Structure 1
Amino acid sequence: MEPTEAQFLVFNALDTLALVNYDFYDQERGNWYIDTPSPVLPRSVILPSGEVIPFEWVQNYDET
């Protein structure tokens, strides 16, 4: 699975603002994992819908 257009838009905006320290795209799940300098969302996930959520939400969801 390739990143969606919504994911590219969000990622490119964050990257342009120098808010991406590290990124990894999980082709199996379709999630784009990012590490940012933000104290609010230091480790985040860009979902295929383009929504940015805390990493812990995805981690907790996978455990249930």
Structure 2
Amino acid sequence: MNTLITAQATSTTSGDGIDSQFATTADGYGTVTYAYTPAVPEPETYGMLLLGMGVMGVLAKRRQARTRQA
């Protein structure tokens, strides 16, 4: 993808009775390249996911058992 790049700057200097001011403008075209690296979860993440799903399964089973008793 080519895109227009524009930069503008102004600088002022003074000292010893001399004042100066500079204005700079530059533009051009550039290519923007994105590199995407997918995130790979650590093994602990999978362990926590499985543990959480197990806890949810136990809680659902207990809730189902209570519903049958009532």
TM range (shorter): under 0.3
- TM-score normalised over the length of structure 1: 0.22
Higher strand share: 2
- TM-score normalised over the length of structure 2: 0.21
